[in-house]
Chains A and B, each alone.
Chain A
Amino acid sequence: MTEAKKTPLYETHLEHGGKIVEFGGWLLPVQYSGILEEHRAVREKAGLFDVSHMGEVLVKGTDALAFLQNLVTNDVSRLTQHKIQYTPMCYKDGGIVDDLLIYKQDEEEYLVVINAANIEKDWQWMQENKGTFQVELTNVSAKTAQLALQGPLAQSILSHLTDTNLEELAYYWFLPNVIVAGKETLISRTGYTGEDGFEIYCQAEDAAELWAAIMAAGKPYGLLPVGLGCRDTLRFEACLPLYGHELSKDISPLEAGIGMFVKLDKGEFNGQAALAEQKKNGVKRKIVGFVVTGRGIARAEYPVMAEGRRIGTVTTGTYAPTLEKNIGLALVETEFAKVGQEFAIEIRGKNVAAQVIPKPFYKREGQQV
């Protein structure tokens, strides 16, 4: 194992009392004031995350689109300039390499945003899939920092720092070359919390000043610096999958419930045959949401039991701060995946009752699907 990496904001986190943990090979704050307080701040006001650990790869060239179409499951040709697309990236067998965001800069240039823990693996996979495509791949992860300003007051806060009309930036769109607090950034209306908000990409050396400017502008609004702990509980309540939990090389997008991002009719791509077969025959396992009706908290890896045998595994489970319930996501055999289905979660050797509930657990008012 190589030594854990520090983001450009490491010192800033220490100065503000961030409790540092290692995540995906990076030293990042799991919390500042407390996960529950930070979770509430993002749901009700706003929170600022350091997500500089995320990876970014530039895809340039005359075959940029063709290369991406082969690489991912969603239909990249539907993107227009400055629009963003979410997509799984699969192996030939339909298992997931990673889930990512694709930003279309122009016809021959795309920015691909990947998970921190998968940067090396994804980079390798992209190289292997370059084939004869006329593309140039550049890993710009190290020189790119990323801040996520999330919450209902995010736009009000950010509007103090830029002349750009944020009102006109719609969900899953981005703008390059935006000056925020005197620094050149790329901003997108995206996030991983289930709230409105922005992700702000900047040069690594500008990150600390940008962080300070946003925190100062957000102070009157109740903006808090927030850590990975609430990032996980927020994304979990919104049922946004996390690689290594709901998504993995052993779980397909159809099983994970993100089949709407697989476009089987778009032309050839990695995993197409396997996924078409799964779609035709139906999947054997599915990710479901459940509430623990007995006493206890389900955690990742706990067995799901029914009819005296193991029928699945919890992928994420915790106390959900907004819902004030112990809930979870689990990969279970399809016949146990209907809403209302009762099963048990094995918690420290004891079977605790649980029931399948609809997903997502949390949806903000007026949210677009």
Chain B
Amino acid sequence: MNIPVELKYSRDHEWVKIEGDQATVGITDYAQSQLGDVVFVEVPIADTSVVVGTGFCVVESVKAVSDIYAPVGGEIVKINDALTDTPEIMNEDPYGEGWIAVIKIADQADLDNLLSSEEYEKFITEEGN
């Protein structure tokens, strides 16, 4: 399971890359492997606000519909349009081409709840998988 050390992670299996007050977010390698083949992504809408911990994106595999929860709150400043026509990039490159959105962090305190790569690795092991 690929868990890059430079990223932060939520307990809902999203990754966060922090650059100043902006956070690029996506789903983890573990999340994409659990979801299976992604066949549809309802990307978030740019210039809207999201609340930390609430659904801001919908990912559908062949079998199931899953909400993706915002790992940080704030304004969505950029979205990955490529997911609309090529949702499979979420499986193929979850930490790269498969990113979901860039969020302008409203409250830095949200970052305190995120996990380091070691903590996240421990978390998914303890989840029983």
Contacts and interface: CB of A to CB of B under 8 A. Distances in A.
Contacts of A348: 42, 58
Nearest to A318: B62
A297 B63 contact: no
B37 interface: yes
A296 B62 contact: no
A319 B36 contact: no
B39 interface: yes
B36 A35 contact: yes
A30 B58 contact: no
Contacts of A296: 40, 42
Contacts of B65: 297, 299
B37 A297 contact: no
B81 interface: no
B63 A30 contact: yes
A35 B36 CA distance: 7
A22 to B, nearest CB: 13
Task: Tell me whether chain B's interface is mostly helix, strand or loop, or mixed.
Answer: strand
Contacts of A34: 36-37
Contact of B39 (A31, A295, A297): A297
A229 B36 contact: yes
Contacts of B62: 35-36, 229, 233, 318-319, 321
A33 to B, nearest CB: 10
B50 to A, nearest CB: 16
A326 interface: yes
A229 B61 CA distance: 11
23 contacts: A34-B37, A35-B37, A35-B61, A36-B39, A36-B62, A229-B36, A229-B63, A233-B62, A295-B84, A296-B40, A296-B42, A297-B60, A297-B65, A299-B65, A318-B39, A318-B63, A319-B39, A319-B40, A319-B62, A321-B62, A326-B40, A348-B42, A348-B58
Interface of B: 36-37, 39-40, 42, 58, 60-63, 65, 84
Interface of A: 30-31, 34-36, 229, 232-233, 295-297, 299, 318-319, 321, 326, 348
